[in-house]
Amino acid sequence: MSSNQVRIGAEPGTLARTVILAIVGVVFAVPIVALIEFSFRSGLSGGYTLEHWISLFAPENARTYRDLFQSIGNSFILAVVTVAIVLVILLPTMILVHIQFPKLRRVLEFICIIPITVPAIVLVVGLAPVYSVVVKVFGGSIWTLAFAYGITVLPYAYRSIQANLDAIPVVTLSEAARSLGAGWVAVLWRVLLPNLRRGVLAASFITVAVVLGEFTIASLLNRRNLQTALLQVSQSDPWVAAILAVLALALAFVLLLIIGRLGSVGRNQSEK
């Protein structure tokens, strides 16, 4: 900002900034570039081709990749159900605790942070017996895995929603609406949710990104999702695995870029 003045603060000079960011940027780009390069290789001998990209989307190969596409479909089903769990179970609880039980806020925060300390690889040891019961109650279809995913996304979803809750005067808004005669449903639906839109959207996107990237639980509970299918297909057709990895990374990047924009728009507004 003050490049011509004598720099007294912590900020680096333009040269230092450019050098650091350029070196780290290039080093971190290499594996991604290599992954993209690999997806265009025609074989072990060298030479490039579009063949793998075309064949993945060619209708006549639909049968070959049917399992793969089904697993991708599974991941999207899981993403939708997990978002629903976040919106139906976590969000109302957070609003309720925020308004009615201020003393429980720390407890709720603690619970939502636990999944960082209890990693998925530990959770899955205890989830196996739980899921033998879940399968009896709900059947063995893929969406039940979303119950476990709802837990793994708790820290991320909590953080996104809580940041928004802290930024708006929830108690004031709900009391204003109540004193004007609104019922609780109206308060929630017409007053609070529109104000929480940004946090809810961010929580949903981060949930989708985490679910699409989840491997541990699906793999060890023998369920099929995008990541387990990627690993499986990489044994026989590494090019297809590379293409899908590139696409999945790109999708996650776009989702998180949107979250970033949502966040910065929020910061602008609250500062004014």
Partner 1 sequence: MTVANAPVPISGGVEVAPRRRPLPGLAKYLGLTPFAIYVLIFLAIPTTLAVVTGFFTEDGQFTFDNIAGLFAPNVLATFGSSFWISAVSAVIGAVVGALVCYAMLGTRSEGALRTIVDSVSSVLAQFGGVMLAFAFIATIGVQGLITVYLKNTFGVDIFSNGIWLYQVPGLLLPYIYFQVPLMVITFMPALEGLKPQWAEANATLGGTRFTYWTRIAAPVLAPSFFGSLLLLFANAFSSYATAAALISQGSQIVPLQIRSALVSETVLGRENMAGALALGMIVVMVIVMWGYSVLQSKTSRWQK
267 binds partner 1 (CB under 8 A): yes
The DSSP call for residue 188 is: I
Cβ atoms of residues 126 and 198 within 8 Å: no
Stretch that binds partner 1, among 49-57, 72-80, 119-127, 157-165 (CB under 8 A): 119-127
> Pick from 63, 172, 185, 236: which binds partner 1 (CB under 8 A)?
172
Distance CA 49, CA 65 (A): 20
- The residue among 65 and 206 lying less far from partner 1, judged by its C-beta, is 206
CA dihedral 183, 186, 189, 192 (to 10 degrees): -70
The nearest distance, CB 200 to partner 1, in angstroms, is 16
- From residue 230, how far is each of 118, 120, 142, 192 by CA, in Å? 26, 19, 17, 41
> Pick from 77, 87, 163, 168: which binds partner 1 (CB under 8 A)?
168
159 binds partner 1 (CB under 8 A): no
CA dihedral 62, 68, 71, 73 (to 10 degrees): -30
126 binds partner 1 (CB under 8 A): yes
Residues 203-262 that bind partner 1 (CB under 8 A): 206, 209-210, 212-213, 215-216, 219-220, 227, 230-231, 234, 238, 241-242, 245, 248-249, 252-253, 256-257, 259-261
> Pick from 48, 101, 138, 189: which binds partner 1 (CB under 8 A)?
101
> Pick from 80, 96, 186, 193: which binds partner 1 (CB under 8 A)?
96
- The residue among 5 and 59 lying less far from partner 1, judged by its C-beta, is 5
Q: Which of 66, 81, 36 is nearest to 229 (CA)?
A: 66
> Pick from 156, 160, 165, 204: which binds partner 1 (CB under 8 A)?
156
121 binds partner 1 (CB under 8 A): yes
The nearest distance, CB 269 to partner 1, in angstroms, is 6
84 binds partner 1 (CB under 8 A): no
12 binds partner 1 (CB under 8 A): yes
Distance CA 233, CA 68 (A): 8
> Pick from 77, 84, 87, 124: which binds partner 1 (CB under 8 A)?
124
Sign, CA dihedral 130-106-193-186, equals: positive
58 binds partner 1 (CB under 8 A): no
Secondary structure tally for the chain: helices H, strands E? 14, 0
The residues pairing with 48 across neighbouring beta strands, listed in sequence order, are 41
The nearest distance, CB 66 to partner 1, in angstroms, is 21
151 binds partner 1 (CB under 8 A): yes
Burial class (CB in 10 A: 0-12, 13-18, 19+), 8: exposed
